[in-house]
Amino acid sequence: MKRSLPALVLLVLALGSLPAPAANAAVGLPPTVPGVRHFDPGVGEFILAAHVRVLADTGEAATVARTLAADLSRGGRPAAVSAGPAASGDIVVRVADSGPAEAESYRIDIGANMTVTARTRQGATHATQTLLQWFSQTTTVPAGAVIDRPDFAERGLMLDVGRKFLSVGWIKQRIREMAYYRMNLLHLHLSDHYGFRLASTSHPEITSPQHYTRAELAEIISYADTYGIEVVPEIGFPGHMNAILAPHPELVLHPATTSPIDVATDSLLAGTAEGRIDLSNPAARPLIEDLLREFVPLFPGRYFHLGGDEYVTDYSRYPQLAAAAHDRLGPDAVPQDLVADTVNGAGDIVASYGKTARLWNDGIPRGARLSVDESIVVEHWTAGNGLLPWVGNDNGPEQLADQGRLLNNSAFTPTYWASGGYAAPMNTPPHLLYAWDPGLFVNGTRLRQDQRERLLGSKLHVWCDDPTVMTEEQMVSPVRERLPVMAQQLWAGTGGAAYPEFVARVRMLGTPSV
């Protein structure tokens, strides 16, 4: 996890500058999380049939209809996909150009029967989750028309399975809950200090005893896709490679000089020193490239995350990096250029498979003369350089947006939650996450109005710095407290509702099961 000293005060101060939230509740409808944006009431009501028929054409609509029928049946209301004209109490699913134009938007027309219309399978899936939330409370819904859409394109959850192995069943249950709240991005942090969680054939020596088989990965990806959720894998480098480098000690980056402060800092950061690969070693990049060529094709989504965070802050301690930069990139090159060149090479491999690379923002090395490819999506978690993510603005959001980069606001405060370790006491309470908004970055800045289209969204980040502190069962409750808050923030804002009112609404809806 990205490390830092506590400074929630900055968040509290910044909250005073938040814009007025958009209304997101539809009066007369059963409450949902997130709340739907717009409801035009009609005359009459819809009453769900005792044995529900879900009607759909073939193709994507039929896929959504089958999932909805299965979810209704699992929730105690018998349902089946059927054909023919719609009757009272039926649900119709349509994926067609007649749906609302905005990405992931949907329309629900409510009368004697109920019709869901969206332009994409993802939009139709979101609509069905709204229906499931309604029917968890009542079988009668007032007539009218709902039109709904999200504010942000990315509404995600990150799981640190590199430090703590989380079972396939646990991950699938989180996917089901994400879908219930209309979220769409699952980021799997697959390698770090305590494990490399993929079964490697190119380098089997790095595979941890607890790992996901190819079949288990396919199961996770397929289940996520059923609910319109994209899986973003991360294999981090050139730092946080402890598990990868454990069988390759010859590739570990060692400083020419050290100090008690350096030793103490590396100890605090849970073995970061042993996880830095020596980019001056000719065998370093081939190892990274082997892993990318093996694993990028296994994930069908649009993205592959390269990590990039917390490599080196004081390059003067590593003269071998400067020498290698001069040899490979020319006499004017600085050691940071070696990092940028490695990132660009990795990004090229990702692009060769038709995908886009992602990177933590400190993976763009400060002081480099070589530019990191601007097509790489930047996850902005820190404003500083080291232990103070709230202080500074190097590679800040405005600067990155002006370079044409797309951003995810992965602010340490308040989007991070740690199950254990030194950072756990700094976890942001759910009510402060509820008071935040996704346009506020970790140092209290916001993008200018002309830059805001560069902000894709945000995620709840679940880190496991000390994997022994909590079991995966013990982690469920704090994640469930925060996930619907993040979903509401990213869909339409909090709508001015008090936090206790929101919590009561979440509890009213219950929790879906796999």
Burial of 256 (0-12, 13-18, 19+ CB in 10 A): exposed
Q: Which domains does the chain have, with CATH numbers?
A: 8-17+151-495 (3.20.20.80), 38-148 (3.30.379.10)
Distance spanning both ends of the chain, measured CA to CA: 29
Q: Which backbone phi and psi does 18 adopt, to 5 degrees?
A: -65, 145
Tens digits of per-residue pLDDT, 409-467? 999 999 999 999 888 988 999 999 999 999 999 989 999 999 999 999 999 999 999 99
Helix/strand/coil for 57: coil
Please check whether residue 460 is in contact with residue 482, taking contact to mean a CB–CB distance below 8 angstroms: yes
Instruction: Give pLDDT, residue 26.
Output: 67
**Orientation of helix 472-491 relative to helix 168-180, angle to 10°:** 20
Cβ–Cβ < 8 Å for 302, 356: yes
- Two structure tokens written together for 466: 């000390």
For the stretch 165-219, pLDDT in tens is: 999 999 999 999 999 999 999 999 999 999 999 999 999 999 999 999 999 999 9
236 in Cβ contact with 288 (< 8 Å)? no
DSSP-derived 3-state class of residue 377: strand
The DSSP output letter for 452 is: G
DSSP for residue 276: -
Closest Cα partner for 270 from 467, 69, 21, 74?
467
pLDDT at residue 24, as a whole number: 44
- Residue 257: count of CB within 10 angstroms of its CB: 10
Distance between CA atoms of residues 120 and 461, nearest Å:
27
Question: Which H or E element spans position 358?
Answer: strand 356-360
Strand runs labelled E in 406-454: 407-409, 416-418
List CB contacts of 344: < 8 A, sequence separation 6 or more.
Answer: 370, 372, 373
**CA-CA-CA-CA torsion sign (384, 153, 308, 412):** positive
Confidence (pLDDT) at 267 = 61
Categorise residue 330: left if φ over 0, alpha if ψ from -120 to 50, beta otherwise.
left
Output Rg (C-alpha) for the chain, integer angstroms: 24
- Residues 365 and 322: their CA atoms lie apart, in Å, by 14
CA atoms within a 13 Å half-sphere pointing along the CA-CB vector of 351: 11
pLDDT reported for residue 263: 66
Contacts of 507 (CB under 8 A, 6+ apart): none
Cite the beta strand spans of 69-194 per DSSP E: 79-82, 91-95, 106-110, 114-118, 140-148, 154-159, 185-189, 191-192
Residue 22 CB: number of other CB atoms within 10 A?
13
Q: Look up residue 127 and give its two tokens.
A: 């609509």
Count Cβ atoms below 10 Å from residue 483 Cβ, excluding itself.
Answer: 22
Residue listed under structure tokens 């539809």: 26
Instruction: List the structure tokens of 15.
Output: 């909250």
The Cα 305–Cα 92 span in angstroms is: 38
| Helix, coil or strand: residue 162 | coil
CA–CA dist 409, 396 (Å, integer): 11
DSSP 8-class letter at 206: G
Contact 41, 143 (CB under 8 A): yes
Using 70 as the pLDDT threshold, list the residues of the chain that sit under it: 1-26, 261-271, 385-387, 393
Write out the DSSP string of 396-442: -HHHHHHTT--EEE--HHHHEEESSSTTGGGPPPHHHHHH--TT--T
Question: What integer pLDDT is reported at residue 445 of this predicted model?
Answer: 92
Residue 229 identity (one-letter amino acid): I
